[in-house]
Structure 1
Amino acid sequence: MSLEPHAAEAVIVETQAALDEKSKLKKHFGRFDMLFFLICTLVGVDTLGAVASNGPEGFTWLIVLAVLFFVPYALLTAELGAAFTDEGGCYVWTKLAWGRFVASINSVLYWLSNPVWMGGLLCITAVTTFNTFFGDLGNVGQYLFSLAFIWFGVWAAILSFGVGKWIPTLGAWARIALLSFFTFSVILYAINHGLHSPALSEFSPSYTLFIGLVPLLFFNFVGFELPSAAGDEMKDPQKDVPFTVIRAAVTSVVLYGVPILAIIMVLPAAQITGLGGFIDAMKTVFTVYGGSVASDGTATLTGFGEVLGKITAAAFILVLLSSGTTWLMGSDRSQAVAGYDGGGPRVLGTFSKKYGTPIVVNFLSGTVSTIVMILAFQLSGGDAEKYFNAVLNVVLLFTTVSYLAIFPALIKLRYSHGHVYRPYKVPFGMAGVWICGCLTTFWALFASLVGFFPGLGDGGLLNDDALPEGFSRGTFELVVFIPFAITLLIGIGFYIAGRNTRRQLAPAAPPVLPPNIQPVS
């Protein structure tokens, strides 16, 4: 008996370690689990204020990228996630497209940005929220609070998906409730106090703000591929991935765009800051339930307003926690797959027999987050906003650069692996594939360049006015390039460390035939 050539070519050679670890995985991930997971991944609240701080024009660019980036990105991920369903998601896609060496380095960039994000941005925002609504934690208190924040997230990532998936589910519902209640409160606030309605001309786009916002908006819009990191834990990825990706795209644009517009309408532009924009807006609009706003814009909550403020602040912290946890669940799995595939140290590719989760990478992520958190508080010198901006740019850069290998994989795999069964395909044939692949790659490249060089092409080669406040050009480039260079070296080191794992190949397994392919005698 023989197979049709295009079916036989679908055989993927795996390491023995991959077979050993995959035997520990359990199928817990259903369609609606994935939908809530994606909502939790895509709708981040930590940067709502940073986008809103750019005023009406920021909202304009949000809509532009939603159409020209978010939609083609969703279509791209729907095809890749339904066609290549192995555990590891984007690591597998980049390996098949560009080889294990590129995938190994890219996996480190993709993974490491998340514990840095959790220990830096999410912790700072959570602490600021607590201080605003519950009282100052103090020096020792902020460390204890942050440690609990980080390691609860790590613990949730360690639990099997059968249990741990409830954190993203709760986080998704908390987002929907929080953002819906906030929008309702904005309407009440408008009825009682009026709004700071911007003029139509303020929505006009400009290149200066465009290059400043692209990395931030790009960061907010990525995450469609994250559930595919648990491909072998999904019940039916070929059907569920396209279903959930398309629905999550629509939901996310609404949940993200409406609050940003509400912040712009409630707070004067001068009062919206990157770190506290959404927090300040919540406090201001909740004065309709009890409280007042001083002439300088400072809001004070009393009575029922104070109670609601604390409830929503707790929900906000839960949303932040679920964001970090969800990204750890996905990115840690991708890095663990690299470990058992020979693209990283074998120990990182160890999954728990009890939980079916990559415990070693989970603990490593928690350790990195803890180190970043300590540095965030120690190096900020009391100026949390400055460090917030610096860490934000580093995290954005790691993320955007990693997608330079992920997005064009759609085009490459259509040619090199066109034989693989695709239950969902990007519309309009190869023209649609090229459009989606090129558009998403363009945004990733542009966001990476302006991440490295803020102010690029704005009235000259570089405009230093685009730098975060308090940074010179030299200082900022050091903050960005040194961590990036170190991360690349770590990726190369991980690849070298996986050489013994790569040599131990598993016996070739027979190919899994798509429904429309039959064996030929």
Structure 2
Amino acid sequence: MTQAPSTPVTGGANPPAAEAPDLSDGWGEQRGRLRKDLRRLDVLFFLICTLVGLDTIGSVAAQGPQGLTWMAILAVAFFLPYGLLVAELGSSFPVQGGPYVWTRLAFGRLTAGVNQILYWISNPVWVGGSLCIIALSTWEEFFTPLPGLWKYVAGLVFIWGGALTVVQSVRVGKWVPIAGALARIVLLGFFLVSVVVFAVQNGVHTLPAAEFTPTYVGFVALVPVLIFNFVGFELPSSASEEMKNPRRDIPLAILRSGLASLFLYGAPILGILFVLPSEDIGSLGGFIDACKAVFTVYGGSIAADGTVTLTGAGAVFGGIAAAGLIIGLLTSGVAWAMGAHRAQAVACADGAGPAWLGVISEKHGTPVRVNMLSAVLASILFVVALNLTEGDGEKYFAAGLGLTICTTFISYVITFPSLLVLRRKYPDVNRPYSVPGGKAGVWLVTLLSTGFVAFTVVVLIWPGFGVGWFGTQGSPADSLPESFAGQRLAYTLTQVVPLLLFLGVGLLFHVLGAKGRRGRE
């Protein structure tokens, strides 16, 4: 795509050129430090690592067989429209910064900058929250307890290990998502084989057809984690100018990774349901507990009270699987960070934040300063949250995952409608891939994608929204995370207070970016 570096984007009237103009000079000064080292296969593995998050498998399985039914429904109603939307935006506007640039072109710098803060800051919340607590729980379940100070040490090692990986050049850093994707395929594949062996030796729990019937209560409980499982298509677009051929590679990678992720999610969830009684599946430990149970076929036993003891080869395979799970969690955080941090650096260099955060390292070609700031934030959140929840892993997990999803999805509510606006503002831009169905198709995928993420935000802030209305069964209080039972206000505050703080940070960043915008408005 031919750029027009001398024409700044104002977010106002339509530009005279047919092609979307470049960003401001502040980003132009950093662009030359990028390195084109991402190939088609790299983008595919990057997306598999991004989409297949191991931290939410237990949350879906905990809702029983209807989780699979809702997964199938949302694959058509959300996953497909969302993939079509991102495929057009990513291939039509292949500019570094991806979601920030689309929103910037559509709605202007202020809106895009505040929106980008939400998108970026969700990563340290996620890494210091649910990813960290599952990694620690897995370590304690398979290896050794982490008493007192050791839990803090282990969490900080997890956070900073990922941060040091993200800092590396894309030529080196891309191998982390590749390793993460392969770890997922091997781990989940071995788990499924073990489920078959377990079923032959011990039988499996029956899954009555009635339990697959979708309910509104199940939908409200599942829609946040299911849709969170399905997002991440836009992340490679944040590194568009580090790809060999983004116009070709982005749509293809979205198609292939989407199909792979559906299998890599659905099959393990079904395996968990076959192995564990539904009442024994927890959001935090569901996948961990299922792994321990099935690995008893290699050595170990399950006591009458459900306690699992692994011995011999079972203990060895359990340890390997635990290590693979921790690696999978770490690489999830790294893959998201590689995209979100790049978009934040572009935003800051463009004047939507302090210019010093928009600097690209000459040595590594990556936004080192944003990476380090994210690690500091994740560390602070980890320590604070662990103290506020008094070490309660389930409570920490529920609050952290909810805030991560809520923050990310509020940013999507702004980003997704960019498709409609950019179709109108830049009708002559070369679109290697376009959403089928003309204007009606564009409206349909935008409304479906935006509507689902907006609804998810509502049910995260107020669990049980709509339950008991219009004849639906159940009580809204039952939709609260189990660890927050009877504590609606406490849970709501864990979501609303940080969100207001993050919005304040976005506005502060805009003020701090004033110097960089001077003469470029």
In structure 1, distance between residues paired with 2:408 and 2:15: 35
Equivalent pair of 2:78/2:449 in contact (CA under 8 Å) = yes
In structure 2, distance between residues paired with 1:7 and 1:200: 59
1:485 aligns with 2:485: no
Gaps of 5+ in 1: 507-521
The TM-score with structure 2 as length reference comes to 0.94
> How is 1:379-390 mapped onto 2 (pairs within 5 angstroms)?
379-390=388-399
Give structure 1 regions of 4+ aligned residues with deviation exceeding 4 angstroms.
none
**CA 161–85 in structure 1, closer or farther in 2 if over 3 Å, else same:** same
Instruction: Decide which of 410, 428, 443 is 1:434's aligned counterpart.
Output: 443
Equivalent pair of 1:403/1:444 in contact (CA under 8 Å) = yes
Tell me the alpha carbon deviations over residues 92-135 of structure 1, each in whole angstroms, 9 at most, x when there is no partner.
01111111111111101001011110011111100110111111
Aligned to 1:292, the other structure's residue is in SS state strand
Equivalent pair of 2:94/2:240 in contact (CA under 8 Å) = yes
In structure 2, distance between residues paired with 1:493 and 1:6: 29
Look up the match of 1:92: 101
CA RMSD of aligned residues (A): 1.6
Instruction: Decide which of 410, 415, 439 is 2:424's aligned counterpart.
Output: 415
1:160 alignment partner AA = S
1:502 aligns with 2:511: no
> How is 1:230-245 mapped onto 2 (pairs within 5 angstroms)?
230-245=239-254
Equivalent pair of 1:215/1:400 in contact (CA under 8 Å) = no
Aligned to 2:365, the other structure's residue is in SS state coil
Equivalent pair of 1:57/1:203 in contact (CA under 8 Å) = yes
Aligned to 2:309, the other structure's residue is in SS state strand
Aligned to 1:300, the other structure's residue is in SS state strand
**CA 188–248 in structure 1, closer or farther in 2 if over 3 Å, else same:** same
1:465 aligns with 2:474: no
Instruction: Decide which of 351, 355, 374 is 2:364's aligned counterpart.
Output: 355
Tell me the alpha carbon deviations over residues 9-29 of structure 1, each in whole angstroms, 9 at most, x when there is no partner.
425153221111111111111
Tell me the alpha carbon deviations over residues 266-317 of structure 1, each in whole angstroms, 9 at most, x when there is no partner.
1001210011000000000000111111112221110011101101111110
1:295 aligns with 2:304: yes
In structure 2, distance between residues paired with 1:474 and 1:305: 44
Aligned to 2:65, the other structure's residue is in SS state helix
Per-residue deviation, 1:150:
0.8
Look up the match of 2:490: 475
In structure 2, distance between residues paired with 1:375 and 1:184: 40
In structure 2, distance between residues paired with 1:6 and 1:105: 23
In structure 2, distance between residues paired with 1:504 and 1:147: 42
Per-residue deviation, 1:382:
3.2
Look up the match of 2:349: 340
Equivalent pair of 1:7/1:419 in contact (CA under 8 Å) = no
Tell me the alpha carbon deviations over residues 129-176 of structure 1, each in whole angstroms, 9 at most, x when there is no partner.
011111112222222221111111111110000000100000000000
In structure 2, distance between residues paired with 1:398 and 1:8: 35
Look up the match of 1:509: none
Gaps of 5+ in 2: 5-13
1:168 alignment partner AA = P
The TM-score with structure 1 as length reference comes to 0.94
1:62 alignment partner AA = M
Further displaced range: 347-356 or 408-417: 408-417
Look up the match of 1:38: 47
1:111 aligns with 2:126: no
Per-residue deviation, 1:36:
0.3
Equivalent pair of 2:20/2:429 in contact (CA under 8 Å) = no
Equivalent pair of 2:20/2:426 in contact (CA under 8 Å) = no
Look up the match of 2:385: 376
In structure 1, distance between residues paired with 2:117 and 2:196: 44
Identity of aligned residues (%): 48
2:501 alignment partner AA = I
Aligned to 2:301, the other structure's residue is in SS state strand
